[in-house]
């Protein structure tokens, strides 16, 4: 039986190789707040779990029984993988299934790399001692590093947006679990290297090649299914965007109908002026003046996209007796893309209009919109009256519509656009007022 210090050394080498090989999956993941503290705490927790796991494996009986020894090995490696995934989840901003996906993928790469190292040992150092420098630096460090880099540049980077390891796709998770089982099973079924003949060395090397091919094929399947799930998610988002555009098109059509109706009323009143008495004509002129107040809705803030959004929403608010006030310095938006401005502000105001229009009391149909600079930041604040309590999930307001598959995307779009410019978004409800507060760093 191996000495305890030898087992600790082997476990340390294995953990080092595992971390190297899973690094490619973690490169683009966003970090949680207080990342350094979390990373140190997670590492201490992980090492503690591994140590306890190793101790339990040593004291459990049945090492001389093949089946019991295999079951102990499966339990041992499974605990390491799940504990490693927990450490990743606590340090990086990803779901636990996403962290588990990354760790299992890294384990597949580690298993293939270590078996490649075993082949080198079997072919060149089966009958003579292996130099320590070559063993620790070359086989235990450089080969896993090369496998990790090759896997990242040839497979992971091209197939996975690493900052999107958020999906809980059951098919991907199932394949990841099968991948883990196959890697562990292959390691248990490998014959020990006996350098008594060339045939035994060839048989051992063949089993190692089989393990490498099996692990890489499982990794390809795992990543391929993830890519498929990612495309499904993008198609779902595209469907939501198309549905949102249909709703915006209907809203724009209604705005145009408002203008057409007012123009029709103007033409009718102008024709009637000739038939009226001076007193009646004075009243009609006042009515015409009131109708032309639609052109008060023309907005000039210093940015065309901001003007377009505000004018469109103001016309709609006038029709439904919504009190819409705004104070906006549009020039501060000039560093943003026009489509982003229209989408972000349009979604904010559409959500506010949809909320206040449900209020039966017209005096409570209130929307305030402000945008100006604050300490080298673009500060945007929109608040509206909302008597209905709003539920929040992951700091985002939940949609009240029954068809949740095609709604709730507007708020996600607001957050996505703000964060793409390095900004932050805060949704909150207080004293029957719902507010959206955005801060975006200004660009020179």
Tell me which residue has tokens 């300490």: 375
Quote the pLDDT of residue 404. 44
Residue 283 maps to a domain: no
| Long-range contacts formed by 379-382: CB under 8 A, 24+ apart | 379/437, 379/438, 379/439, 380/345, 380/348, 380/436, 380/437, 380/438, 380/439, 380/440, 381/435, 381/436, 381/437, 381/438, 382/348, 382/349, 382/352, 382/435, 382/436
What is the chain's Cα-based Rg? 32
- Cα–Cα distance, 99 to 108 (Å, whole number): 14
- Cα–Cα distance, 248 to 231 (Å, whole number): 25
Residue 379 maps to a domain: yes
- Cα–Cα distance, 57 to 46 (Å, whole number): 16
Quote the pLDDT of residue 134. 81
Q: What is the largest CA-CA distance in the chain?
A: 122
Quote the pLDDT of residue 318. 83
Of 189, 221, 240, the last residue of a domain is: 240
Residues in Cβ contact with 149 at an 8 Å cutoff, skipping those fewer than 6 apart = 24
Quote the pLDDT of residue 403. 42
Question: Domain check: are 210 and 307 in the same one?
Answer: no
Residue 62 maps to a domain: yes
Question: Domain check: are 307 and 376 in the same one?
Answer: yes
pLDDT in tens, the chain (444 residues): 456 676 677 778 888 888 898 888 888 777 888 889 998 999 898 888 888 877 787 777 766 666 777 777 778 888 888 899 899 989 988 888 888 888 888 888 888 888 888 888 877 776 777 788 887 788 888 999 999 898 888 877 765 544 455 445 666 667 777 777 777 776 766 666 555 556 777 777 787 787 788 778 878 877 777 777 666 666 665 565 556 555 555 555 566 666 666 666 666 666 666 566 666 666 666 665 555 555 555 577 888 888 888 888 888 888 888 999 999 999 999 999 887 888 899 889 989 999 999 998 989 999 999 999 988 899 999 999 998 888 887 778 876 654 443 335 678 888 888 988 889 999 999 999 999 999 999 875
Residue 356 maps to a domain: yes
Quote the pLDDT of residue 425. 93
For the entire predicted model, the pTM comes to 0.55
Question: Domain check: are 223 and 303 in the same one?
Answer: no
Question: Domain check: are 19 and 104 in the same one?
Answer: yes
Residue 278 maps to a domain: no
Question: Domain check: are 219 and 358 in the same one?
Answer: no
Q: How far is CA 236 from CA 240, 241, 394, in A?
A: 6, 9, 20
Residues in Cβ contact with 38 at an 8 Å cutoff, skipping those fewer than 6 apart = 32, 90, 91
Report how far Cα 117 is from the mean position of its chain's Cα atoms: 36
- Cα–Cα distance, 104 to 84 (Å, whole number): 10
Residue 380's φ and ψ, nearest 5 degrees, are -125, 130
Residue 257 maps to a domain: no
The tally of domains found in the chain comes to: 2
Question: Domain check: are 200 and 61 in the same one?
Answer: yes
Enter the tokens of residue 272. 């009637």
Quote the pLDDT of residue 435. 94
Its sign, for the CA torsion 303, 377, 92, 395, is negative
For residue 318, what are the domain limits? 299-441
Asked if residue 281 lies in contact with residue 273, where contact means CB atoms within 8 angstroms, the answer is yes
Question: Domain check: are 212 and 72 in the same one?
Answer: yes
Question: Domain check: are 335 and 432 in the same one?
Answer: yes
- β-partners of residue 326 are 369
Residue 168 maps to a domain: yes
- Cα–Cα distance, 101 to 161 (Å, whole number): 13
Question: Domain check: are 159 and 304 in the same one?
Answer: no
Question: Domain check: are 230 and 335 in the same one?
Answer: no
Quote the pLDDT of residue 163. 43
Total number of residues shown for the chain: 444
Question: Domain check: are 230 and 336 in the same one?
Answer: no
Of 200, 219, 240, the last residue of a domain is: 240
Give ∠ CA 395-399-404 in degrees, rounded to 5. 120
Enter the tokens of residue 73. 């090995």
Enter the tokens of residue 308. 């377009």
- Cα–Cα distance, 342 to 140 (Å, whole number): 54
Of 212, 240, 268, the last residue of a domain is: 240
Question: Domain check: are 193 and 336 in the same one?
Answer: no
Torsion from C-alpha of 27, 88, 9, 11, nearest 10 degrees? -110
Residue 191 maps to a domain: yes
Instruction: Please give the DSSP secondary-structure letter assigned to residue 391.
Output: -
């Amino acid at each position: 039986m191996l000495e305890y210090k030898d087992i600790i050394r082997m476990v340390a080498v294995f953990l080092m190789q595992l971390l190297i090989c899973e690094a490619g999956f973690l490169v683009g993941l966003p970090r949680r707040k207080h990342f350094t503290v979390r990373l140190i705490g997670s590492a201490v927790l992980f090492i503690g779990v591994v140590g306890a796991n190793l101790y339990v494996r040593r004291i459990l009986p049945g090492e001389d029984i093949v089946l019991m020894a295999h079951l102990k090995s499966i339990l041992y490696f499974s605990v390491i993988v799940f504990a490693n995934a927990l450490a990743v989840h606590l340090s990086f901003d990803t779901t636990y299934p996403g962290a588990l996906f990354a760790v299992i993928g890294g384990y597949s790469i580690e298993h293939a790399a270590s078996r490649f190292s075993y082949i080198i040992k079997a072919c060149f150092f089966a009958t003579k001692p292996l130099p320590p420098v070559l063993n620790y630096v070359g086989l235990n460090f450089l080969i896993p590093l090369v496998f990790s880099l090759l896997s990242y540049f040839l497979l992971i980077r091209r197939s996975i947006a690493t900052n999107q390891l958020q999906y809980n796709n059951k098919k991907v998770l199932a394949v990841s679990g099968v991948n883990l089982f196959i890697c562990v099973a292959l390691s248990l079924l490998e014959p020990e290297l006996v350098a008594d003949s060339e045939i035994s060395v060839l048989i051992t090397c063949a089993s190692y090649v089989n393990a490498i091919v099996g692990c890489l094929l499982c990794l390809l399947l795992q990543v391929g299914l993830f890519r498929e799930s990612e495309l499904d998610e993008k198609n779902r988002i595209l469907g939501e965007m198309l549905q949102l555009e249909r709703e915006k098109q209907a809203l724009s059509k209604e705005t145009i109908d408002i203008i057409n109706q007012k123009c029709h009323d103007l033409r009718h009143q102008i024709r009637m002026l000739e038939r009226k008495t001076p007193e009646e004509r004075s009243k009609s002129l006042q009515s015409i003046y009131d109708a032309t107040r639609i052109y008060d809705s023309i907005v000039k803030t210093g940015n065309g996209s901001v003007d377009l959004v505000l004018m469109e929403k103001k016309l709609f608010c006038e029709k439904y007796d919504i009190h819409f006030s705004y104070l906006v310095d549009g020039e501060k938006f000039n560093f943003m893309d026009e489509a982003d401005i229209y989408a972000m502000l349009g979604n904010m105001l559409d959500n506010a209009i949809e909320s206040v229009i449900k209020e039966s009391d017209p005096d409570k149909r209130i929307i305030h919109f402000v945008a100006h600079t604050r300490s080298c930041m673009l500060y945007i604040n929109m608040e509206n009256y909302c008597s209905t309590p709003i539920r929040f999930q992951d700091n985002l307001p939940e949609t009240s519509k029954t068809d949740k598959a095609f709604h709730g995307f507007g708020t996600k779009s607001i957050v996505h656009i703000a964060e793409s410019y390095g900004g932050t978004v805060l949704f909150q409800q207080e004293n029957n007022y719902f507010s959206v507060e955005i801060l975006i760093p200004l660009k020179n």
